[in-house]
Amino acid sequence: MKNKLISLSVLLLLSVFSYAQHKRIQDGAIIYLIDGSKLVGELVERNKSDLKLKLISGDVVTLLPKHRRKTYLPEDIVLFNGSKFHYQKGFVFDVSLGQSMNHFAFDFSTNWKFKDFELGLGSGVHNSSIPVRIQDIDLVIESLTSPHYLQAKYNLTDSYMRIYLKGVVGLILTNPFSSQSTTSSTSITTSNNNTTVVNNGSLNDFGTRIDSGVLLEGAIGVTFASKKKVKHYLELSQYSQKISGSHTDAFNSNVSELDFNIWINRIQLTYGITIGR
């Protein structure tokens, strides 16, 4: 019992310490001066040109436009102790790498933040390895695509670790990675109505051609506040992509070409960075 009380006390102290370290500063602002220094504190007054900032020390300073090089005002950021902050509005740029079993996704997007919402346009390079067994023949389809998508985020919290929900909807209109040539052939439909095996000995190339596709993704993530303009985030998502195309296998003479129309479903873990102004 004594050990449990000690453990609970330690956890409580750590929680209080963490909260104190990352306590939000109401009306927090960061002002970079012409001389390269930085002032952090509470914005207590502003007019058309002057800003009054209450520093952590309690001192109040008045800053004229000629003193200021760059400003983050309360409407621009959410500020915490230690000068760490989240972006609150404006354009940000995201770069991320997601991975799961036999899958990776490299993405980049431009997003507009306003209060608790964020909307963006993005593109990426996604690859999935899909094992397929047709007529006792094992094949691996390498789906390498470049989707273009719309994404939306909603912040559930405004704490140091900002938790959010994200949704993604996208299309694969063209596939720049296609390198497969085809000719006329005779098709045989298997028991799977979405799969066709084509016997054709005159194909001169092999690989996978993606003709079209749809991307759907839902995620929960967390963004960590930082002192710099680069923020780090982690996401856990349900990744789904529907693709259609054809696969040519040079190592199986019995199967020249396989037409497919399939869903790819993955649980994906993503690490990314957000870059603001």
Q: Looking at the structure, do residues 77 and 96 belong to the same domain, yes or no?
A: no
Q: Looking at the structure, do residues 135 and 263 belong to the same domain, yes or no?
A: yes
Residue 1 falls inside a structural domain = no
What total number of domains does the chain contain?
2
Pair 81, 22: CB distance under 8 Å: yes
Residue 5 falls inside a structural domain = no
Q: Looking at the structure, do residues 251 and 190 belong to the same domain, yes or no?
A: yes
Say which range, 53-62, 87-96, 123-132, 205-214, has the weakest mean pLDDT.
205-214
Residue 258 falls inside a structural domain = yes
Say what the pLDDT of residue 223 is: 95
Q: Looking at the structure, do residues 68 and 127 belong to the same domain, yes or no?
A: no
Answer whether residue 215 shows pLDDT above 90.
yes
Say what the pLDDT of residue 12 is: 47
The domain boundary residue, chosen from 41, 67, 83: 83
Answer whether residue 64 shows pLDDT above 80.
yes
Q: Which domain does 152 fall in, by range? A: 89-275
CATH classification of the domain holding 42:
2.30.30.100
Q: Looking at the structure, do residues 67 and 150 belong to the same domain, yes or no?
A: no
- Residues 261-275: pLDDT tens digits? 888 899 999 999 999
Which own/partner contact pairs does 195-198 have at CB distance under 8 Å and 24+ positions apart?
Answer: 195/132, 195/134, 195/258, 195/259, 195/260, 195/261, 196/258, 196/259, 197/134, 197/135, 197/255, 197/257, 197/258, 198/246, 198/256, 198/257, 198/258, 198/259
Answer whether residue 188 shows pLDDT above 80.
no
Residue 13 falls inside a structural domain = no
Say what the pLDDT of residue 71 is: 87
Give 191 or 79, the one with higher predicted confidence.
79
Residue 168 binned pLDDT confidence (cut-offs 50, 70, 90) = very high
Mean residue pLDDT across the chain: 79
Residue 52 binned pLDDT confidence (cut-offs 50, 70, 90) = confident
DSSP assignment, residue 83? G
Q: Looking at the structure, do residues 77 and 160 belong to the same domain, yes or no?
A: no
Answer whether residue 254 shows pLDDT above 60.
no
The domain boundary residue, chosen from 65, 83, 101: 83
Q: Looking at the structure, do residues 78 and 103 belong to the same domain, yes or no?
A: no
Residue 81 binned pLDDT confidence (cut-offs 50, 70, 90) = confident
